Structure formats: structure tokens, C-alpha cells
């Protein structure tokens, strides 16, 4: 939540900052702003606008946007409504400092009261303005340099922050710091970049330093990058090389990132399996499982912590690991787990699933489980992000940057890794027969091809979506492996079309949701030949008896449901445990096309952000 960018070097900063903000808009798009120290007269100019980065671009037309140093921000509102006054950067009272912030200063109210008592006035209702005023107060009263003032101010702060500060009279320096919110420094030729993740940086340099908690980057033009802690102890920067293809950050001819990412899935699954499934398609090895097999095998149970779509993938992971490895698995919302004083100890293995690797609740759940001695295994997408760095081991899903706010390819990537994890561990534990193992691995290899067949249904799904733009509610039903898919289908629809949607285990429908069914109610039922087909068939009959509109997701060649359902989407058959990799795709397309028909902003739905770094 909130994206931050910074630049210092010999180029004009503004174009780099704005391009960077656009790459980070997935983190929030309530308002945007930029601070630049101008070339001619060394003014500290701050420009801000409510809305997306494009609004900021219009706002700065005819303004002085010169400057070879600058910081910029795209906001997801926490404290204070989205408006220009609450947008970042925030000036200090004297307007000699400007600061951007991602995170929450939890003790801002007390700090604000103290500063107000000293005569400080505030122009916004944000927690961030308190921090810049505090830095100025400490700096002025003690006659300190900016770095020392930042260090002292941060010692008073409770909460999460990634910040960058510039000072009018020092156009050669940016001070940046992080705690619990991500921050990356890019090292170019005589220039430095700063961003919430590497995506705004990769087209200029592949050398990056991921800051750790309570580290401060002292970025001086023409000097080596210096990293210190809050007490000024110097830390040697750990320079990493990032590999990212710029094409992955563009829409590549698709109208939306979400559609592009839906269509990328066959290739993503191949990338995810590359080097893990052998070319003959007979063996799967997830190296982290092999490296830690003793620890994983002796686990009393697995606990999976995640949020949102990743939590739905976790539910599928539970099925896979319990079925094949015979290890009990619990699935927890990270936000509940972390505050519940859970029973967890060194005999447990905790799997943390997160696309961004930055979700605050999942990270906190990891830290809690770690402090109780559990072994932590991460399943993440964003390389070098906070969760993989906090875990004992893990496996990346390798699906490339996901930019659409509604997660698609990350979900199928997570399910693929969970499948490979369950298979690798089951083989080591001897809890799967050779025959079944081989059958699943071979079929896993066919999934990308079968996904491509599903994507060919795009036109059909776009057409049928037009019928359902009237709907205010949707129900999604599934059983077994298809129940989490129903949850995920419902989540996709509500996120981007603002239609209320409920996912339910099909058999539970008669314990409540059936009361909602009438001729207006569309019900999406996942009813492939796998699992409890006959039972789901009865559930469909119950819906039709009450005149509900059934959209059935069925296996190719199904003749029975075709005669009962209003609409059938026919999918290639696969094994039951791999069904979610196939059945999720048409639900993603359905949500996408309904939202497009309704004229919604698919990639940037209201109120949402892709990376939730606040609680």
C-alpha cells in the first residue's frame, strides 16, 4: 500500500519518478505527488493531486518540474481521506523538508499532540505529516544534520515505515529508511534510484540493495551508498542482481494487465515447473523440500498462513498435502493467527503463501511462528521481498510480476508449487504409490496445454458475460478441490465488478444460501466429472427447482448437466487434484468480462491495493 520512488543523479528526475509511480500504482491510486529540488533556483517544489498518477501529470503542466533529485508517492489512504492535502510528499513547517511514507505511524496522535503544544501546525490529517514535523523539530532544536534528525525521530516512532526525505538546502542527498514496509535502492552509474519494489528500477540498473528493518540508506550524489542503523552503526550493503524482463511490466497489446496475466498462465505454469519437473515428465523435485526433508517429514502438522487469494490457494494446499503426505494441515488467515496466541511450537511447519511477499499480516504471522520455534517455508512470487527473507526456506512461484490488482496467475502458480511440494514430500515419505505419483506428474505436464484450450473459450465467456451485468448478487458453489475455486471465483467477481458474490461448499447451500435463490440469482457451479459429481448434480437440481440461473463449469462431453443448466462451460478433463488449475481460469475470465461490460476499472478497482503492507 502506497508506492514510493526516488531519484538522484545527472538526469531529470521527474520523468523517471512518474514512470516509476505508474509501475507502482498497483499499490494504491488515491492520490499522487512529487517533490523536486529545482535546477535553476534550488526551490523545493511539491506538487500533489487527488486520484491517479495521470491526474498529477495534468496538474504539473506549466509548473517547474526541473530537478536532478526528487521523491514521489502514490497513495492508498489509511489516515485521512484521499485528497490533495493528504497526498504525499508532506512538507515540514518551514517547507525545507519533504517526506514520503508507506506504512502507519501508530503513535502519531501522541507525537502530534506534543508537536502542537510546541506550536507546530498541521495541514493534513495524515500520520505522515507528524513524522516530517518531528524530524524538523529535532533537527532545528538540536541543530543537527538531516541523517541524525531522522535517526532520532525514528527512535520515537512506533509502527511501520518506508520513508524518503529530501532537504531544500542539500540537493545532493536523499535519506531513506525502512521498517516493516519494503524499500529497494537501485545503484546505477553515478545515480541512485529508490522504490517500494524493483519494478521502477530495472530498466536503469540491475544492481539493487533491499533494505532491512531499521536500516537507513544515506544516498549522496557522486558517493558510495552508505547504510547505517538507527544508532549510526554502519552496515555493508548487500548488493543483489535482479533479473526482470521489462516486457513483463507492459500490457503487451492487451487492454488490461488482468487479461494479459490470465493469458500468460500456460507459460507461467511452465516457468514454475522449469527445472523442477524433469523433461520426461516422470519426476518432480522441489529442492527446498529435499534440502529440509527431515524437518518436514517429522512435522507434527503444517499450518498455512495467508491472506486473500493466497488463502484460497492455501485451502487447495491443505487438500494436496493431507491427501498425499498424510500430514494434518490447518489453514489460517494470517491476520487472525497473529493475534490469537496460537498453539504453535518447534514441531510445526508453517507455510506462508504470499504473492507480494510483503503482506503485513502474513509477515507478522511468520515472525510469530518463528519466535515459537516453528520451521517456516515461504511460497512467494516477488523475489527478494520481505517474507522470503524472513523464512527458513521456500520456493518461488516464478510467474513474473503480477500487476493487475485482482490476482490471477499468482494463484495458479501457488497451486502449482503446492502440488509439487506435496508430490516431492509424499515421495520422500512414501505416502504415495508410484503409480499415482507418475500419473499426477505426467498430467501436471499437460496442464499448460489444457489451460490454452480453456483460454480459447474467451470469446464465448465474453458473450455470456453480457447477460449477467444486471446481477447484484452471485453464488459460486463447489465441493472438495472445487470449493476453494468457488471462493476464488466469487472473490474475483466482487473485487472488479462490485457485484456481491458468495463462494460456498455446494452441500452447505441448503443451510442458508438456498433462501437467496430466485429467477434473478446466477449460480456458478463447478461440476466437473471429478469428485462428487452426482452430489453436485443434485445441488444443481435444487437450484433449478427454485428457478436459479445455473452457469455450470463441466467436463468436456458432459451430457447430463447440459440438459439442466442454463449455460455450460466445457473444460478439458484432468485429474481431480489438478482440477483447480483448469477450473479457475474460466472464472477469472467471467469476472473480467462482466467487469469490462459494466465499464469498471479492471486493473485498479476502487478501494483495493495489491500489496497490503498495513494491518
Residues in contact with ligand G6P by CB under 6 A are 307-310, 354-356, 359, 362, 405, 407, 608, 610, 612
Contacts of 230 (CB under 8 A, 6+ apart): 151, 154, 155, 214, 216
Q: How far is the CB of 571 from ligand G6P (least distance, A)?
A: 24
CA nearest 183: which of 110, 103, 123, 107? 103
Residue whose CB is less far from ligand G6P, 308 or 384? 308
Residue whose CB is less far from ligand G6P, 31 or 359? 359
CA nearest 192: which of 401, 4, 5? 5
- Interior angle at CA 387, CA 383 and CA 392, nearest 5: 100
Beta bridge partners of 553: 526, 569
- Distance between CA 309 and CA 407 in Å, rounded? 7
Please state whether beta strands 170-179 and 69-75 pair in parallel, antiparallel, or not at all (unpaired).
unpaired
- Distance between CA 83 and CA 610 in Å, rounded? 21
Position of cell 514441531? 347
- Distance between CA 577 and CA 358 in Å, rounded? 29
Active site residue 597: no
Q: How far is the CB of 10 from ligand G6P (least distance, A)?
A: 36
Active site residue 325: no
As to burial, measured by CB atoms within 10 angstroms (0-12 exposed, 13-18 middle, 19+ buried), residue 94 is exposed
The residue with its CB nearest to ligand G6P is 308
Residue whose CB is less far from ligand G6P, 184 or 550? 184
Residue whose CB is less far from ligand G6P, 354 or 419? 354
Please state whether beta strands 207-210 and 473-478 pair in parallel, antiparallel, or not at all (unpaired).
unpaired
Residue whose CB is less far from ligand G6P, 310 or 555? 310
Q: What is the dihedral of CA 17, 23, 25, 27, to 10 degrees?
A: -110
Q: What grid cell was written down for 285? A: 523435485
CA nearest 523: which of 478, 584, 492, 560? 478
CA nearest 71: which of 181, 155, 196? 196
Say which DSSP state 180 is in.
Answer: B
Please tell me which residue in 2, 268, 272, 325 is annotated as part of the active site. Answer: 2
Residue whose CB is less far from ligand G6P, 461 or 612? 612
Q: How far is the CB of 12 from ligand G6P (least distance, A)?
A: 33
Buried b (16+ CB within 10 A) or exposed e, 569-579: bbbbbbbbbbb
- Distance between CA 294 and CA 201 in Å, rounded? 40
Active site residues: 2, 610
Amino acid at each position: 500500500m502506497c508506492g514510493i520512488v526516488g531519484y538522484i543523479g545527472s538526469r531529470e528526475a521527474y520523468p523517471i519518478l512518474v514512470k516509476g509511480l505508474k509501475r507502482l500504482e498497483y499499490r494504491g491510486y488515491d492520490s499522487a505527488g512529487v517533490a523536486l529540488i529545482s535546477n535553476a533556483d534550488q526551490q523545493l517544489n511539491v506538487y500533489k493531486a487527488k486520484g491517479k498518477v495521470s491526474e498529477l501529470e495534468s496538474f504539473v503542466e506549466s509548473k517547474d518540474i526541473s530537478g536532478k533529485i526528487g521523491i514521489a508517492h502514490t497513495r492508498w489512504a489509511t489516515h485521512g481521506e484521499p485528497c490533495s492535502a493528504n497526498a504525499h510528499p508532506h512538507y515540514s513547517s518551514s517547507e525545507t523538508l519533504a517526506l514520503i511514507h508507506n506504512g502507519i505511524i501508530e503513535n502519531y496522535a501522541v507525537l502530534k499532540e506534543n508537536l502542537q503544544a510546541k506550536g507546530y501546525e498541521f495541514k493534513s490529517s495524515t500520520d505522515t505529516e507528524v513524522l516530517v514535523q518531528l524530524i524538523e523539530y529535532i533537527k532545528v532544536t538540536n541543530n543537527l544534520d538531516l541523517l541524525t534528525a531522522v535517526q532520532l525521530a525514528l527512535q520515537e516512532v512506533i509502527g511501520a515505515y518506508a520513508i524518503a526525505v529530501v532537504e531544500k538546502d542539500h540537493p545532493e542527498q536523499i535519506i531513506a529508511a525502512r521498517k516493516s514496509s519494503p524499500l529497494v535502492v537501485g545503484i546505477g552509474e553515478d545515480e541512485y534510484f529508490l522504490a517500494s519494489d524493483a519494478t521502477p528500477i530495472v530498466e536503469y540498473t540491475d544492481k539493487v540493495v533491499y533494505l532491512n528493518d531499521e536500516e537507513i540508506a544515506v544516498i549522496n550524489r557522486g558517493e558510495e551508498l552508505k547504510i547505517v542503523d538507527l544508532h549510526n552503526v554502519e552496515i555493508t550493503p548487500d548488493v543483489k542482481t535482479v533479473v526482470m524482463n521489462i516486457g513483463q511490466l507492459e500490457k503487451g497489446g492487451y487492454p488490461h494487465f488482468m487479461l494479459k496475466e490470465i493469458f500468460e498462465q500456460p507459460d507461467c505454469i511452465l516457468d514454475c515447473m522449469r527445472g523442477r519437473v524433469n523433461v520426461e515428465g516422470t519426476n518432480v523435485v522441489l529442492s527446498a523440500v529435499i534440502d529440509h526433508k527431515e524437518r518436514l517429514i517429522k512435522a507434527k502438522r503444517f499450518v498455512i498462513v495467508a491472506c486473500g487469494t493466497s488463502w484460497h490457494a492455501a485451502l487447495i494446499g491443505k487438500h494436496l498435502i493431507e491427501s498425499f503426505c498424510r500430514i494434518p494441515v490447518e489453514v489460517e488467515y494470517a491476520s487472525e493467527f497473529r493475534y490469537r496466541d496460537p498453539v504453535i511450537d518447534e514441531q510445526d511447519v508453517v507455510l506462508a503463501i504470499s504473492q507480494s511477499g510483503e503482506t503485513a499480516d502474513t509477515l507478522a504471522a511468520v515472525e510469530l511462528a518463528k519466535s515459537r520455534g516453528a520451521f517456516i517455508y515461504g511460497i512467494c512470487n516477488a523475489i527478494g521481498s520481505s517474507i522470503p527473507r524472513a523464512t527458513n526456506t521456500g520456493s518461488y512461484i516464478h510467474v513474473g510480476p503480477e500487476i493487475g490488482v485482482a490476482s490471477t496467475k499468482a494463484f495458479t502458480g501457488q497451486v502449482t508449487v503446492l502440488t509439487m511440494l506435496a508430490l516431492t514430500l509424499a515421495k520422500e515419505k512414501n505416502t504415495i504409490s508410484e503409480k499415482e505419483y507418475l500419473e499426477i506428474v505426467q498430467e501436471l505436464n499437460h496442464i499448460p496445454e489444457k489451460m490454452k484450450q480453456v483460454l480459447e473459450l474467451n470469446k464465448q465467456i465474453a458473450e455470456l458475460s453480457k447477460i449477467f451485468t444486471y446481477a447484484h448478487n452471485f453464488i459460486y458453489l463447489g465441493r472438495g478441490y472445487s470449493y476453494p475455486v468457488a471462493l476464488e471465483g466469487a472473490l474475483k467477481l466482487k473485487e472488479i465488478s462490485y457485484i456481491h458474490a458468495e463462494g460456498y461448499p455446494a452441500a452447505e447451500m441448503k443451510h442458508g444460501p438456498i433462501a437467496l435463490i430466485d429467477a434473478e440469482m446466477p449460480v456458478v457451479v463447478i461440476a466437473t466429472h471429478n469428485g462428487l459429481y452426482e452430489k453436485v448434480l443434485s445441488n444443481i437440481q435444487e437450484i433449478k427447482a427454485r428457478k436459479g440461473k445455473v452457469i455450470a463449469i463441466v467436463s468436456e462431453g458432459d451430457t447430463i448437466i447440459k440438459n439442466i443448466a442454463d449455460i455450460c462451460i466445457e473444460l478439458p478433463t484432468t485429474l481431480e487434484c489438478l482440477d483447480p488449475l483448469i477450473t479457475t481460469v474460466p472464472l477469472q475470465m467471467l469476472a473480467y468480462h462482466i467487469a469490462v461490460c459494466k465499464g469498471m476499472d479492471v486493473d485498479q478497482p476502487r478501494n483495493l491495493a495489491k500489496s497490503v503492507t498495513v494491518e
